[in-house]
């Protein structure tokens, strides 16, 4: 079946621009996670949803980062006024209850 | 907050040699998971350990969960070039936190 999909796969933004990253989880998966992965590093936790409820957003680096999952399926990670330090791969993962199934990620480059 | 530390950061082995990566948490974990990420790819789930002292095997891979549920290891016997990648542990407490990973390279 279809896995987790993310769009766009690549995004180049000018500093100060707003971006929106989309995640389509595996159908029926209750949990959805967002991670930020810098080059050569492990995935850094950003936020976690169970259905439409955002249960943990402690990993969001600043109030410029906002995530939503309004209907408990598709999720969007929005970054306002992007900064160069926001450049990274943003990974989305969904989970039925145990394993995380990752999407291919969105590579964000902020110039 | 919860910290998951992983060592070594890099490991280069000759094909056929064994490889081990270690994961340590500052807090007791509900469970621990291991993932493999190939260059240019995304993390792929390998296994989950839940019980104290648990040992699981997948062909040449052996996974252990410590008695105190604060550490874990992944051991690969007789590495092959297909084992190349970065191996991450991820600990579940209130959320799933990843270690920095061990990058394995294998010389044929």
- pLDDT for A28-72, tens place per residue? 999 999 999 998 899 999 999 999 999 999 999 999 999 999 999
State the pLDDT at residue A98. 85
B12-60 pLDDT, tens digit each: 999 999 999 999 998 999 999 999 999 999 999 999 999 999 999 999 9
Query: Per the CB < 8 Å rule, is A42 touching B94?
Result: no
Q: Which residues contact A88 (CB under 8 A, 6 or more apart)?
A: A36, A37, A38, A39, A107, A108
* Euclidean distance between CA atoms B105 and B108, whole angstroms: 10
CA distance B106 to chain A (A): 18
For B107, the token pair is 């010389």
Confidence of residue B2 (pLDDT cuts 50, 70, 90): low
Q: Percent of chain B having pLDDT more than 90?
A: 88
CA distance A10 to chain B (A): 13
* Euclidean distance between CA atoms B22 and B81, whole angstroms: 21
For B34, the token pair is 């291991």
């Amino acid at each position: 079946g279809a896995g987790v999909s993310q769009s766009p796969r690549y995004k180049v933004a000018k500093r100060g621009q707003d971006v929106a990253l989309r995640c389509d989880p595996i159908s029926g998966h209750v949990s959805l996670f967002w991670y930020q992965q810098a080059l050569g590093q492990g995935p850094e936790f950003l936020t976690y949803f169970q259905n439409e409820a955002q249960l943990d957003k402690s990993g969001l680096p600043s109030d410029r980062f906002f995530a939503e999952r309004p209907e408990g399926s598709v999720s969007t990670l929005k970054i306002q006024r992007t900064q160069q330090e926001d450049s990274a791969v943003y990974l989305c993962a969904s989970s039925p209850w145990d394993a995380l199934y990752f999407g291919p990620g969105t590579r964000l480059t902020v110039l | 907050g919860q910290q998951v530390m992983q060592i070594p950061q890099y490991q280069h082995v000759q094909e056929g040699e064994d490889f081990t990566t270690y994961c340590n948490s500052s807090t007791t974990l509900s469970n621990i998971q291991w993932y493999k990420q190939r260059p240019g790819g995304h993390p792929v789930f390998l296994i989950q350990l839940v019980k104290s002292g648990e040992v699981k095997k997948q062909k040449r891979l052996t996974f252990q969960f410590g008695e105190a549920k604060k550490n874990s290891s992944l051991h690969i016997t007789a590495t092959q070039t297909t084992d190349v990648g970065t191996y991450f542990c991820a600990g579940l407490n209130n959320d799933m936190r990843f270690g920095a990973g061990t990058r394995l390279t294998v010389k044929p």
